[in-house]
Amino acid sequence: MKKLILLSLVVAVALSVAACFSNGDDYYEDAHPGIVVEEEVPESLVGGTPDQPSRERMLANRIDHVGDASGVGRLLSFLPVFDENFTQNMVSLHTESEPYGLILYFEPNPQHWNGENMAASPEIQTYSDYLFESIGNLGYITFKYRMSPSVSGAALEVDEYTELITITRD
């Protein structure tokens, strides 16, 4: 439990730092010349600004290992919100054995929450695809949510979250 709390704290700090200092939009193109990114992208995931980053920005910051907490945090900071009723609160990195994975924990967004459960949407698949392309050894992503906000600064209580969906790398 102490490891999970510490890991959550490290990822939260990494997200904050990455949002402030991330740069490298040309890194992927420089390191991988000739790679063309082609895919129809849902309108909600198109952009390049901090609140609606593009796939290219994620690929420019690609990492090899899910155990790179600061890299994972940076990539997550590039992703837009796919359900305005919920906000991503914490992330858990599973790196002890294959398949390696991420568990993303969501909570109600008090400004927009309508009292309904989180629902799987096409954006979740695109969100996951971007992460699979951007994290070399990522094997799965699990989305979990809870129906009430947690207490600020409290430990992650995994039993209070409901699994929405797990998506695996195909």
C-alpha–C-alpha distance, residues 98 and 169, integer Å: 12
Give me the tens of pLDDT residue by residue for the chain, a chain 170 residues long: 444 444 444 444 444 434 433 343 333 334 333 333 333 434 444 444 444 446 888 889 999 999 999 999 999 988 877 788 888 888 999 999 999 999 999 998 888 888 888 888 888 888 899 999 999 999 999 999 998 888 777 788 889 999 999 999 98
CB-based contact 58:49 (threshold 8 Å): no
Helix axes 2-21, 69-78, angle to 10 degrees: 60
Cβ 126 vs Cβ 143: under 8 Å: no
Q: In terms of pTM, does the model score above 0.85?
A: no
**Could you tell me the residue ranges of all domains in the chain?**
2-168
